[in-house]
Structure 1
């Protein structure tokens, strides 16, 4: 869970609720390739499985996204932050922005 998930969220506005229900129906009718929405009873938090694309290093791997929708969605953007996001941002070297991070990937199976 994220640090933001520990704090109570405000209930969705009627507009946000209607919009998310419409988007969820669209997702079910026409799902995007490589993505699977996990059905839950919480319209405000979507759990999405992302399947790695064939022919890539991530093929056949499944990654999970958590998307939290704010009270006034779509006028406010949803969030998706990893559990350790706050600690990572706090510890960025030389006060640099996390956007300037250069990621390094190592896979022992390759």
Structure 2
């Protein structure tokens, strides 16, 4: 996150804080399979370890997701959900960690949780038949320099096979 976006980030509202605390407690009691929350003292940024599902291209591979929450979560989608370096090779994951997944943007619903996001991302990884970057990876990553958030992208969700 760039210093300008960090400065622009506002503290969580009471509703967002309560919701995230509830989700965290629920996570500790019943974590989604294949995920581990890395404990920090920052409720507004979660780092989550992801382990690829058995029998998939990503079996036993471990990656890290970073989830940043906006002031008005869950009425607003997470500020960003990205893979930290190195991001998995996947047709919907850019080398800078940005993820092309509609529930993170246009299809967000306040009924979704961090657990449901994680399960969707693991499902996306598990259904892939190839390990490769998106066709426009180099152009996209070049255009994202200077800290551009994935939320600033107009995503085109056209491939539901991967």
Contact in 1 for aligned 2:79/2:151 (Cα 8 Å): no
Contact in 1 for aligned 2:2/2:147 (Cα 8 Å): no
Gaps of 5+ in 1: none
Contact in 2 for aligned 1:67/1:78 (Cα 8 Å): yes
Higher RCO by CA contacts (8 Å cutoff, separation 6 or greater):
1
Alpha-carbon offset, residue 64 of structure 1: 0.7
Alpha-carbon offset, residue 23 of structure 1: 0.4
Kindly provide the CA deviation profile for residues 86-105 of structure 1, in whole angstroms up to 9, marking residues without a partner as x: 97266599999999999999
RMSD over aligned Cα, in angstroms?
7.7
Kindly tell me: are residues 21 and 55 of structure 1, through their superposed partners in 2, closer, same or farther at Cα, counting changes over 3 Å?
Answer: same
Return 32-41 or 1-10, whichever deviates more.
Answer: 1-10
Count of aligned pairs between the two proteins: 110
Q: Does 1:95 align with 2:147?
A: yes
Alpha-carbon offset, residue 53 of structure 1: 0.6
Alpha-carbon offset, residue 3 of structure 1: 7.6
Return 1-10 or 68-77, whichever deviates more.
Answer: 1-10
Alpha-carbon offset, residue 7 of structure 1: 3.9
TM-score normalised by the chain length of structure 1:
0.69
Gaps of 5+ in 2: 81-132
Alpha-carbon offset, residue 8 of structure 1: 4.0
Rg comparison, structure with higher value: 1
